[in-house]
Amino acid sequence: MTYQASDFPGRSPVYRRWQDQPATPVGDTLAPLVTGGAGGAQCRLRDLSALPRGGLRGADTQALLQEAGYALPAQPNQLVQSGATLIARLSQTEHWVLDTDPAAPSDLPAVQAGRRVYTLPCQDSHAWLVLSGPARAEVMAKVCGVDMRPAAFAPGALAQTSVALVSAIVLHHQLEGEDVFSLLCDSAYADYLWGALLDAMAEFDDAAIGSGAPPDASA
Amino acid sequence: MSKQRQGLLITGDAPVQFTFEGQRFSGLPGDTLASALLANGQWLQSRSFKYHRPRGPLSLSGQDANTLVQLGPEPNVLADRTPLSEGLSASGQNYVGSLAKDGDSRLGFFGRFMPVGFYYRAFYKPRGIWDRWEKVIRKKAGLGVLDTQREAGYHDKQYLFCDIAVVGAGPAGLAAALRAADAGASVLLIEQDPYIGGSLAWHRYDVQGGAAAAMLADLRRVEAHPRIRTLTDATCNAWFADHYLPVIQGTRLYKVRAKQTVLASGALEQHVVFHNNDLPGIVLCSAAERMLALYGITPGNKALVLAGNDQSCRSALTLADAGVQVSAVVDMRASPDDPALLQALSERAIRYIPGHTVYSARGSGSQGRISQAEIRPITAPGEVGNTAETIDCDLLCMSSGYMPAWQLPCQAGAKLSYQDEVAGFRLSGQAAGVHLAGSVNNIFTAEAVVKDGERAAAAALAALGYDVDVPESVSCALRPNYDWPMFAHPKGKEFVDFDEDLQLRDIVNATRMGYRDIQLVKRFSTVGMGPSQGRHSALPTARLVAKATGRTISETGVTTARPPFAPEKVAHNAGRVLHPYRQTPMHHRHLEAGAHMVPVGDWQRPAYYGQPDQARHCIESEAMHVRNAVGLIDVGTLGKIELRGPDAAELLNRLYTASFDNMEIGSTRYAIMTNEHGVVIDDGVACRLGETHFYITATTSGVTRVYRAMTQWNAQWRLDVDILNVTGAFAAVNLAGPLSHKVLAAAGTDVDISAAGFPYLAYREGQVAGISARLMRVGFVGELGYEIHVPARYGEALWDALIKAGRAFGIKPFGVDTQRLLRLEKGHLIVGQDTDGMSHPGELNLNWAVDRKKPFFVGQRSVAIMKREQTQRHLVAFELPAGSETPAEGLLVLEGAEVSGKITSCAYSPTLDKVIGLAWASSAHKKPGSQIVIKSAGGEPLTATVVKLPFYDKALSRQEIQA
């Protein structure tokens, strides 16, 4: 079945960048369909903005998540990957939970009154782009001052930094068996950042552009 | 024939056609423009800056200004660094007529009337004469022709990270890279030339020859080493603190971040100063060796070598072995250090003339190429005897020694000290983590250079925590510098600085005029200020100034070598010109509706819908439509902040002028923020969602500042509140106009939108078109209106739903320019437009929004003081009758001859059929009915009447549902 993004109330901020590609519904949003990872490409850019994510912060956040059974990163600026779920720790008191498998979204624990825990609208405040392929660290070196070579920025690393002059959170994790960078940026800057990344990718042969969600999404 | 040329860099035999000075030439793949010209016998490649003397390559490695050419639209391109390409078209520069026949070459005859510094002492007397001279001088100044219309093309930047950066891929750099990488470090090897090996690729390191090639073959291991990345054709242009190295390769600027730096930047071969030492055909020995080894060019038929060291004697052997007839080696020394050289020269029938120098040279032919050299015995430092011998030659190779490439080390804090025993400068004292290796460290034999590279790498490894033994410093017994290679001539033209045509006496005269400090000599004489930045003039200048001022050469020193090491383009520093922009989720709907978009900070917003040449019509018709029917504006760019926690109301109390304790849940309140000086810095609407939950809007341009102020203040106050900037997380629209409630109802909402259920200034949450929304009954544009905020992902769907539902009511989108007109009619000010950096609430008629009873807010004391003071100015509302000129915003308000204010907002109101506006004016005129005088664009006074706000809907009825 062919879908149109405009048939769904939820829309990725960059849906026009991939709207001519096969797509599949994720909740009330359309997500681009992907067949495998970067494949033979040097680098690939995908849009995972439709996939579920949420955040909590406040003094009691760590305790709440631990009570709910989440394994949390030991330090800020780290992430823990548990299957298709990423738990990113942005500060002593702020955690984001991102699901690369839309079929099994994590339900963040309910916040009881009186606890110092506040929800974060990550699904809307931030777009979720994924940069994959062997040249991903080199692409990032053209737009970001953080050393993202594997030796310096191993899977499990997280950087809150500037990418192409806009604030972004970069996560190094696994997706479909390959190491990738997830980039979370202000959704209003997403179209700009998408273009800036394409520009940085342009020098690499076989740079693949556009398609998005993991294959499970089509299931 | 060029087809037979074999050189390290020559990669094929297919001819490459190009033109120089309009003449067609043919080169080979791998040639530079300069090498291809030399292969064609074209030695004349440039004209000197001041005397327009003919010049040809000196170093053939991009280290001198003699090969600067005009390459199409680009001036001052080094021909010996420019790869040859098919169809390339270049010309000389800085001439009148042609390169071969430069009318300005006559200037050389007037050299004696243009002594150093004459620019500073001429052309300004008699008074007014400068105006005439200026045109002439400006015409003569500068090199080449700049195309000011030229587009820079694609340039970009990239970070490169490594453990150890090695600058220079000569033997020292290669050895250092291998030692470091073998130990496990990641290495970035940076080489300015297009090949690795440095002098191993072209210099003869032993009398027999062959040692260099064998050594290089071993060091080529770097090319396949997994931990070494090599950049060739890449210039490290500076050393900055913490090993931040800008490296330019092609159109890219690499920003290298290293943990340690090995500077194996080599040494610059130095020339000999004698009469006419700048003629085409007079080159450094290394240049002749490069011609042979790199490009397969036979540099001359009959060569003479002027030696100051054993290296230049070995160059003579190389030339002879390549088939060049070497007439003689004229050695300034009494004998070579290596006695075997005498035998080798003898075997090749090369005359060896010790204790002599070339005293003068003569050029001839259309290119002015050297044809004769006069040699004389050296009788004392800088002095020669009367016995002269003239030797015919078309090539003169010279070397008086080496100057360590001091620029990067000195940027890293190193000091130069002159050592008489080696007649050269030595570098020491560079920053921690910077290691010198090879000839920059005064190590010259190949074996010692390699050891020194390995030592430097070991030191860098040790600093990185590797468990390695750091060898003792490497010593080298070679003494390649001749101590006084400068010979004055009665006719001058013994050039110390080729770039600026500075002769021996120019430097000495500068000191005689009182400029004793080397920095002053530089500024007065311009020595070292040319494109090559003193690479060949710093050492002789230091020696000359030291002697002339009676100081040591160490005391004299050289001038500061600031970055960049080599010329770089503005485009390199600019890189990709990125312009971040923010778009709301409805952005494309605006484009589809024909919006004229304008930037508001990073945001892109619709100003109005229609063509710019119809702007006024579009704005006025959109405004009338909002007044009479219904309009929809995207206000998603508004700042939005969530405050949650027990102290949320307290934080608002302290930061905004109003009181928030008593706000009811489900209500909104206008909020203005002042800074410590009582100046209004932002305004917005505070909504109370719960006892401990507020949602605040801020201005589009002010939200970052507001959020920063909140977090900054709370870092001190430690209130129990979470502050979250959710600007991008929410899309927002303002549905405004008398029919807006009907559109909202048609779109579908579960919110009770009756007049009683949703009164003015109330806040509600509910579904709109099936989307969870936050709704506010606010009246910025002065009509019944609903500000609807939804999660950003649903913004476009909300827009679509409201436009669809509104069709039956004639809904039209309106832009931010229209909103500005509507709010002006309603008398609402815009912080930043109607206010400035000194505006306090009283001046703005905003005292009503200041709670005087609460104990504290930021700026409270200042606001109170200003309230007591007699204010000088006031923001007033004014009217002009229809048909009047609409004065532009920014025009002045006059009080007699004095300026008393300016217009901040002004427009023709189609609703009121008047010109209305806000202006700063004297407090004396703040009362309605007063007259203010505006200085119109044409200078004529316009008299406007001060009125009471609002201009529109004084009864405040329009914000309610109309019966």
CA–CA min distance B157, chain A (Å) = 6
For B262-285, the pLDDT digits (tens) are: 999 999 999 999 999 999 999 999
* Cβ <8 Å between A192 and B582: yes
CA atoms within 13 A on the CB side of B274: 28
Measure A187 CA to nearest chain B CA, in Å. Answer: 6
Residue B726 CB neighbours (<10 A): 21
Q: Is A67 on the interface with B (CB under 8 A)?
A: no
- The one-character DSSP state at B448 is H
Asked if A118 has any chain B CB less than 8 Å from its own CB, the reply is yes
The predicted structure's pLDDT at residue A216: 36
pLDDT digits (tens, 9 = 90+) for A30-89: 988 764 555 667 898 999 999 999 999 999 999 999 999 999 999 999 999 999 999 999
Which pLDDT value is given to residue A212? 41
Split at pLDDT 50, 70, 90, the class of A138 is: very high
**Measured between alpha carbons, how far is B731 from B638 in angstroms, rounded to an integer?**
9
Q: To probe the interface with A, which of B793, B800, B802 has the most A CB atoms within 10 Å?
A: B793
A188 to chain B: which residues are within 8 Å by CB? 582-584, 603, 727-728, 792
pLDDT at position B535 is 96
> Which residues in chain B have Cβ-Cβ distances shorter than 8 Å to A200?
156
Q: Is the dihedral of CA B680, B684, B688, B692 positive or negative?
A: negative
Judging contacts by C-beta atoms under 8 Å, the chain B residues touching residue A11 are: 585, 793-797
Distance CA B103, CA B645 (A): 83
Instruction: Write the CB contacts of A156 (distance below 8 Å, at least 6 apart in sequence).
Output: A73, A78, A79, A80, A81, A172, A173
* CB-based contacts of A107, cutoff 8 Å, min separation 6: none
Contact A164 B728 (CB under 8 A): no
* Identity of the residue in B157, B161, B727 whose CB atom sits nearest the CB atom of A147: B161
Closest Cβ–Cβ partner in B578, B728, B729 for A165: B578
- Backbone conformation region of residue B956, classed left if phi is above 0, alpha if psi is from -120 to 50, else beta: left
- Residues facing residue B842 across a β-bridge: none
User: Binning pLDDT at 50, 70 and 90, where does residue B127 land?
Assistant: confident
Mean pLDDT for the stretch of residues B446-454: 97
What 8-state DSSP symbol labels residue B473?
P
Q: Chain A residues with CB inside 8 Å of B602's CB?
A: 189
Residues of A in contact with B249 (CB under 8 A): none
Distance CA B691, CA B491 (A): 95
Query: Which pLDDT score, from 0 to 100, does residue B123 have?
Result: 82
| Averaged confidence pLDDT in chain B | 95
**pLDDT band at A218, cuts 50/70/90?**
very low
Q: Are A188 and B583 inside 8 Å of each other by CB? A: yes
pLDDT tens, residue by residue, B174-222: 999 999 999 999 999 999 999 999 999 999 999 999 999 999 999 999 9
Q: Which of B776, B775, B759, B777 is nearest to B767 (CA)?
A: B775
CA-nearest residue to B227 within chain A is A151
For residue A217, name the pLDDT band (cuts at 50, 70, 90): very low
Task: Look at residue A39 in the predicted model and tell me its pLDDT.
Answer: 61
CA distance A106 to B642: 24
Q: Count of A–B CB contacts within 8 Å?
A: 106
Judged by average pLDDT, the poorest of A2-16, A32-46, B247-261, B598-612 is: A32-46
Q: How far is A216 from chain B, CA to nearest CA, in Å?
A: 22
A152 contacts on B by Cβ (under 8 Å): 161
Distances, alpha carbon B138 to alpha carbons B49, B134, B135, B508, B826, in Å: 13, 6, 5, 28, 59
| pLDDT confidence tier of residue B882, bands split at 50, 70 and 90 | confident
Of the candidates A11, A125, A147, which has its C-beta nearest B729's C-beta?
A125
Mean pLDDT of B382-393: 97
Give the pLDDT of residue B109. 76
Residues of B in contact with A8 (CB under 8 A): 797
> Does B792 sit within 8 Å of A187, measured CB to CB?
yes
Residue B257: which of A121, A147, A199 has the nearest Cβ? A147
- Cross-chain residue pair A189–B722, CB shorter than 8 Å: no
Expressed in percent and rounded to 5, the helix, strand and coil fractions of chain B are: 30, 30, 40
Residue B722 with chain A: CB contacts under 8 Å: 57-58, 116, 118
Domains of chain B: 12-138 (3.10.20.440), 156-268+403-463 (3.50.50.60), 278-399 (3.50.50.60), 494-565 (1.10.10.1100), 870-963 (2.40.30.110)
Per-residue pLDDT averaged across B94-114, rounded? Answer: 84
**Per-residue pLDDT, B644:** 97
**pLDDT greater than 70 at residue A210:** no
- The region of weakest confidence among A209-218, B282-291, B780-789 is A209-218
Gyration radius from chain B CA atoms: 39
Using an 8 Å CB-CB cutoff, list chain A residues near B800.
Answer: 6
- The residue in chain B having the minimum alpha-carbon distance to the alpha carbon of residue A51 is B793
Mean pLDDT for B715-729 is 97
Residue B2 has pLDDT above 70, yes or no: no
Apex CA B896: angle with CA B890 and CA B900, to 5°?
40
> Which residue in chain A is spatially nearest to B790 when comparing CA positions?
A124
Q: Residue written as tokens 């004389």?
A: B376
> DSSP letter at A52?
-
Task: Give the closest of B161, B728, B793 to A149, CB-based.
Answer: B161
Interface contact flag, A121 B161, Cβ < 8 Å: no
**pLDDT score for A38:** 54
Contact A151 B728 (CB under 8 A): no
The pLDDT, as a whole number, for residue B137 is 81
Instruction: Kindly report the nearest CA distance between residue B882 and chain A, in angstroms.
Output: 42
pLDDT of B795-851, one tens digit each?
Answer: 999 999 999 999 999 999 999 999 999 999 999 999 999 999 999 999 999 999 999
pLDDT tens for each residue of B899-949? 999 999 999 999 999 999 999 999 999 999 999 999 999 889 999 999 999
Axis crossing angle, helix B816-826 with helix B615-628, rounded to the nearest 10: 60
Is the confidence at residue A211, as pLDDT, over 70? no
Helices of type H across B557-637: 570-574, 587-592, 615-628
Nearest-by-CA chain A residue for B604? A188
Local confidence band at B240 (pLDDT 50, 70, 90 cut-offs): very high
How far does the CA of residue B466 sit from the closest CA of chain A (Å)? Answer: 17
Q: Contact at 8 Å (CB) between B759 and B819?
A: no
Longest dimension (CA), chain B: 119
Across the interface, of A6, A189, A200, the residue whose CB is closest to B580 is A189
* pLDDT at site A208: 57
> Does the distance separating the beta carbons of A141 and B160 come in below 8 Å?
yes
- Over residues B571-581, the mean pLDDT reads 94
